[in-house]
Amino acid sequence: MFVELVNPGNTSQKCSRCGTIGERKGKTFHCTNLECGLVLDSDLNAARNIHVAPLSAGATRSRGGCPLPSIQLTAAA
């Protein structure tokens, strides 16, 4: 199994649909982009952002430039 560590910073504040920094009110995320307007559970919004983080255009794929390196997990013996 391959695991890539993702910096969780701002994942519950960034809109998982359009990328705008929105507002959290309790457990609910509200996108402030009027064209988007996403309203979603903040944990689900964060999970979606974490899911796509390694695939985003600005992601650093090499270990040399990534503050949170990729790791390879092996099955326990």
Query: Which pLDDT tens digits describe the chain residue by residue (77 residues)?
Result: 667 777 888 888 999 999 999 999 999 999 999 999 999 999 999 999 988 887 655 554 443 444 444 445 555 55
CA distance 41 to 24: 9
**Residue closest to 41 by CA, chosen among 52, 21, 26, 51:** 26
Give the pTM.
0.66
CA distance 74 to 77: 9
